[in-house]
Amino acid sequence: MATKPEKSKKTDNAESNRMKRLLRTQKKQPNNKQIEAALKTTRMHRKTPVNPIWSASWRRIAVLFKEMTGRFDPAIMSSNTDVSRAAMAKPGTNTWYKPLPMPKQPFSIGAQLGIQ
């Protein structure tokens, strides 16, 4: 017969501390109906957040975008391709990057020799 997996010590401590805290509050506030409902269950009373955590590689890419374009839109990292393409299409604000001026005839012999 299968046995239940053992609970971690941290979870047991958290549950026992929560029960002690609820009993202490019930003693102070005997008419509180929420405490009665909370004492009936030992489940976690709060869902953990599901926000994505930025990895080191994502941070590096964000810094690179910020340096090159002058801005970084977090929508660039979206898994939805339409959203990320739209975010990448927005113009940047960085003005230090300017293309080099091209001579009138860049492939002439004079241009290749540096004669204008």
Q: What is the pLDDT of residues 26-60, one digit of tens each?
A: 999 999 998 998 888 867 667 776 766 788 888 89
Amino acid 47 reads K
Q: Find the distance separating the first CA and the last CA of the chain, reported in whole Å.
A: 91
Interval 63-116: pLDDT, tens? 888 888 888 888 888 888 999 888 888 877 666 666 667 667 767 777 777 775
Q: Is the pTM of this model over 0.85?
A: no
For 19, the token pair is 């029960």
CB 20, CB 39: distance < 8 Å: no
For 42, the token pair is 């030992």
Cα–Cα distance, 33 to 25 (Å, whole number): 11
For 28, the token pair is 């102070």
